[in-house]
Structure 1
């Protein structure tokens, strides 16, 4: 499948291969506010989601009140600024201004969104409860 930008399904897979990028996209897509968000605020949101989901530090990332450790937020911020946000911006999914430290979700091309929905559907089928089979390879 090819999207309006000429992306193939493989291009979409490359974009979402990293869990943190998927978290960023999910957060931005579901965010109630529109317009720019600061990288710091995005990093805090991503770190919070990852702590809840048990990723990258899990409960060690939070304090007794459930707040995410600022050091974890800083680490997430660094990876967002230097790895994930530039990659998403290169694909035209977000507008990232590194000088201002802001991000704006530009939305998905129709073909990209359809590819993502197909990927989610297949992933859900592959992770069916009670299915302990693995693809050989």
Structure 2
């Protein structure tokens, strides 16, 4: 069972919350590249600059080395580094409730289009 401290630790960082929002909305594994693209649209920086590739790579590195491994510390999130996919499976109802509330409060742009 996930503790309240673990839930809040997962939700503490905006990028990690964005990962969790994507996982919550998808059924099955999600490619890291798909997460990066979605997070890139949700973050405040305006798209279409020459630095988009650098930004994509920075987000990808941040996810791969920090947020995906941290998310996978709970038993209902599985991160396969080799395949480059992550998924949530069997999350507790309490976690789903808190995550839903966070999504409502934060309202990431285009969240309903995933």
TM-score normalised by the shorter chain: which range applies? Answer: 0.7 to 0.9
Structure 1 length as normaliser, TM-score?
A: 0.64
User: Is contact 1:37-1:102 (8 Å) kept?
Assistant: yes
Higher RCO (CA-CA < 8 Å; seq separation 6+): 2
Q: Is it true that 1:63 corresponds to 2:58 in the alignment?
A: no
Aligned to 1:79: 62
RMSD of equivalent CA atoms? 2.6
Q: Is contact 2:23–2:30 with CA below 8 Å preserved after alignment?
A: no
- Report the CA distance shift for 1:69/1:14 in structure 2 as closer, same or farther (over 3 A): same
Q: 2:10 aligns with which of 15, 35, 39?
A: 15
Aligned length: 105
Q: 4+ residue stretches of structure 1 with deviation over 4 A?
A: none
Instruction: List alignment gaps of at least 5 residues for structure 2.
Output: 106-114
Which residue pairs with 1:104 in the alignment? 87
**Other structure's SS at 1:46 match:** helix
Q: Kindly name which structure, 1 or 2, has the bigger radius of gyration based on alpha carbons.
A: 1
Deviation of 1:107 (Å): 4.8
2:23, 2:99 → 1: CA distance? 15
